Amino acid sequence: MKPSVAPVAGGTDQAAVSLAAMPEATYSVTGMTCDHCVRAVQAEVGKVPGVASVAVDLGAGRVTVSSERPLDEAAVRAAVEEAGFELTA
Ligand SMILES: [Cu+2]
């Protein structure tokens, strides 16, 4: 009688990526006063590699960025500054 060998479950395939889970980060940006400011921030932050969408709440001074992978805050900060504003948090 041979000992039975159970098939190994799982394995090493950890490559599955959930496309639904996009990292999202919210930043405080000071200096935005109108739609032009909003568009400038959206345009510059939108150029950061990996960024999927940029939502700006003008009244609250908040910028919410969805991205394909976690972003380097320094890159977002640089983009906001390029647009002429300051990322404060
Ligand atoms: Cu403006």
Give percent of the chain above pLDDT 70. Answer: 78
The rounded Å distance from CA 23 to ligand 1 centre is: 28
Residues, Cβ < 5 Å to ion ligand 1: 33-34, 36-37
The rounded Å distance from CA 22 to ligand 1 centre is: 29
What's the pTM? 0.76
Q: Are 58 and 64 in contact (CB under 8 A)?
A: no
- The class (CATH top level) of 24-84 is alpha beta
Domain borders along the chain are 24-84
Q: Is the pLDDT of residue 15 over 60?
A: no
Residue 26 is predicted with a pLDDT of 97
- Residue 24 neighbours by CB under 8 Å, 6+ apart: 64, 65, 66, 67
Q: Are 49 and 65 in contact (CB under 8 A)?
A: no
Tokens of 20: 């639904």
- Residue 88 neighbours by CB under 8 Å, 6+ apart: 28, 29, 30
The rounded Å distance from CA 79 to ligand 1 centre is: 16
Q: Is the pLDDT of residue 13 over 80?
A: no
In this prediction, residue 21 has a pLDDT band, given cuts at 50, 70 and 90, of confident
What does the mean pLDDT of the chain come to?
87
